[in-house]
Chains A and B, each alone.
Chain A
Amino acid sequence: MSDIADRVAKIVVENLGVEADKVTQDASFIDDLGADSLDIVELVMAFEEEFGVEIPDDAAEKIATVGDATKYIEEHKG
């Protein structure tokens, strides 16, 4: 896993209180990790903080899996 993927996974574990081995890149925040829409808003804020990126609302709405978040950050991180 890339450094970004590791850091994304760590934030997900801390925010959602889920077991680290469940946080695969394929895992869906809502279907697999028990998040609701507000949890995703909070996660997106945490990603913005951690990586210094802006994730606009329309992009955030398309982030459904851990991998989606990792990919977005990898592509937009300065």
Chain B
Amino acid sequence: MRRVVVTGLGLVTPLGADVETTWANLIAGESGAGQITRFDASNQKCTIACEVKPKDHPWGFDADKRVDFKVQRQVDPFIVYGIDAAGQALEDAGLTDMTEAEKERTGCSIGSGIGGLPGIEIESVNLHERGPGRVSPHFVHGRLINLITGQVQIKYGFMGPNHAVVTACSTGAHSIGDAARMIAMDDADVMLAGGAESTINPLGIAGFAQARALNMSMNDRPTEASRPYDKNRDGFVMGEGAGVVVLEEYERAKARGAKIYAEVTGYGLSGDAYHVTAPHPEGRGAELAMRMALKKAGLGPGDIDYINAHGTSTMADTIELAAIKRVLGDDLGGASMSSTKSAIGHLLGGAGAVEAIFCILAMRDGIVPPTLNLHDPDEGTEGIDLVPLVAKKREVRAVLNNSFGFGGTNASIIMQKVD
């Protein structure tokens, strides 16, 4: 099988509109959380979220940089974030000027968990109040999940695999794993892979609140609300944004002298077969995914240095931890493990991809990002390095990234440094 490496990164997050700003803020322990500004949330049970910041903010997002004006008007924000992150990753990889033959061998696997919920909400109201003749002609293709991939391939002329994963909060991880396999199986030489989400709208917040998934007890303390593994955790904080990586066949990347961040060596997938929203109480599905990824990577307990946990700041955190202990041992084989959702919130379909990028940067810089707000660790966390409150310097050569989603869908990715 062909080897697959990461040669480009792109991020739009509540902590920055690019990779280095986001990473610097994450390592500094900044939080992206605040009161919702996107709409009047005063009648919602949850009034807080981790929003991507506006253009005039020190780390705000400027859509005009990489997304055509007309496209911005026609599509939901998750597509705008995805196009921008994909552009960043291509620029970082030095692949903005490819031959026609190369473009035929370049594809996209950029998904989303939910897709264009804000636009669906707006147009539903529009239909109800003003009639079918006032629904936008761009309504459908401006909300569809595969339209990040579609827009990116049109923009750059890529004619390889045109793919988009929809597996709730596992989307980003599945997108990278599936794309890596497409390269390994010789379907493509280069793949843009990742996920995006933007559902900080009235229907999105209300829906997750009604499902009892969101934190609703700390509306007055937004930066303290996402607190994975803490005894006082009480639901996740909604995030938004996008993460996209460039995956490339190893020999090709080496031959062109590309900057190689990491190799994707392990990928595991499984289902819980248990409940639509709750994870299996023993984390059996999570365990299966991690074991499969380790086997594929040819690694054993003790080989993983850093785990970016799914860790959403819900009761499920300890279920995931118990599963990881069964796979890696009670001390996690000496690995450090943190949940960066404590800083950027839960990016749902974007989470797995954004967090995979954090794993790569941890390897690059020899520093692991912190779990914010972890003041009072829950039972079962004794003897485990959850990187509370502040980032920690350590050698990182192999990383494990977990993502789990509604519907009982699990994905684990292992990446390693390339010498």
- A38 near B70: Cβ-Cβ < 8 Å: no
- Asked if B73 is at the interface of the complex by the 8 Å CB criterion, the answer is yes
Task: Tell whether, in the assembled complex, residue B134 and residue A39 are in contact, meaning their CB atoms are under 8 Å apart.
Answer: no
- In the complex, the answer to whether A42 meets B69 with C-beta atoms within 8 Å is no
Out of B68, B133, B136, which one reaches A42, CB within 8 Å? B136
Interface of A is mostly: helix
C-alpha spacing A29/B137, complex, angstroms: 16
Q: Give chain B residues whose Cβ lies under 8 Å from the Cβ of A39.
A: 70
Q: Is B138 engaged at the interface, CB distance under 8 Å to the other chain?
A: yes
> Which residue of chain B lies nearest to A44 when distances are taken between CB atoms in the complex?
B137
B354 to chain A, nearest CB (A): 30
Partner of A38, one of B68, B69, B134, B138: B138
Asked if residues A17 and B137 are in contact (CB atoms below 8 Å), the reply is: no
Max count, chain A CB within 10 A of own CB: residue among B70, B73, B133, B138 = B70
Say whether A38 contacts B73, CB under 8 Å.
Answer: no
Please measure, in the bound complex, the distance between the C-alpha atom of A16 and the C-alpha atom of B74, giving whole angstroms: 11
Q: Which residues in A have their C-beta under 8 angstroms from that of B138?
A: 38, 42
Q: From residue A46, how far is it (CB to closest CB) to chain B in Å?
A: 11
* Interface 1/0 per residue, A39-58 and B, CB below 8 Å: 10110010000000000000
The B-contacting residues of A in range 1-52, CB under 8 angstroms, are: 15-17, 34, 38-39, 41-42, 45
Closest residue on chain A to residue B135 by CB atoms: A45
- A39 CA / B71 CA spacing, docked (Å): 11
In the complex, are the beta carbons of A17 and B69 less than 8 A apart?
yes
Q: Name the residue on B nearest A39 (C-beta).
A: B70
> Which B residues are CB-close (under 8 A) to A34?
70
- Shortest Cβ distance from residue B164 to the other chain A in the assembled complex, whole angstroms: 21
Smallest Cβ-Cβ distance to A45: which chain B residue: B134
How many chain B residues touch A (CB < 8 A): the figure is 9
Chain A, interface size category, equals under 10
| Contact assessment for B137 and A41 in the assembled complex, using a CB-CB cutoff below 8 Å | yes
**Chain B residues whose C-beta falls within 8 Å of the C-beta of A42 in the assembled complex:** 136-138
A10 to B: closest C-beta gap in Å: 15
In the complex, which of the residues A15, A17, A34, A41 has the most CB atoms of chain B within 10 Å of its own CB atom? A17
Chain B residues, Cβ within 8 Å of A17: 68-70, 73
A15 to B72, CA, bound (A): 11
**Assembly CA distance A42 to B123 (angstroms):** 14
Convert B133-168 into 0s and 1s, putting 1 for each residue whose CB lies closer than 8 angstroms to a CB of A: 110111000000000000000000000000000000
Which residues in chain B, 390-404, are within 8 Å of chain A measured between CB atoms?
A: none
Residues of A within 8 A of B136 (CB): 42, 45
Q: Which residues of A contact B68 (CB under 8 A)?
A: 17
Complex Cα gap A41–B132 (Å): 13
B-chain residues with CB within 8 Å of residue A15 when the two chains form the complex: 73
B69-91 to A contact mask, C-beta < 8 Å, 1/0? 11001000000000000000000
| Cα-based distance from A21 to B70 in the complex (angstroms) | 18
> Who on chain A is nearest to B70 by CB?
A17
Residue of chain A at shortest CB distance from B69: A17
Q: Contacts of B137 on A, CB cut-off 8 Å?
A: 38, 41-42, 45
The CA of A70 and the CA of B70, in the complex, are separated in Å by 22
> What's the Cα separation between A71 and B100 when bound, in Å?
44
Taking the closest CB of chain A, its distance from the CB of B418, in whole angstroms, is 43
Give the distance in Å from the alpha carbon of A15 to the alpha carbon of B136 in the complex.
Answer: 12
In whole angstroms, what is the CA distance A78 to B196 when docked? 47
Min CB distance B351 to A, Å, is 32
Complex: A38 Cα to B136 Cα, angstroms: 9
Contacts of A16 in B (CB 8 A): 70
For the complex with contacts A38-B137, A42-B137, A42-B138, 5 further pairs of A-B residues with Cβ separation under 8 Å are A17-B70, A34-B70, A38-B138, A45-B133, A45-B137
Instruction: List A residues at the B interface (Cβ < 8 Å).
Output: 15-17, 34, 38-39, 41-42, 45
The 10 A-B pairs with the shortest beta carbon distances in the complex, nearest first, are A17-B69, A41-B137, A38-B137, A42-B137, A17-B70, A38-B138, A42-B136, A16-B70, A45-B134, A42-B138
What is B's interface to A at a CB cutoff of 8 Å? 68-70, 73, 133-134, 136-138
> What are 8 sample pairs from A and B whose C-beta atoms fall under 8 A apart?
A15-B73, A16-B70, A17-B73, A34-B70, A38-B137, A41-B137, A42-B138, A45-B134
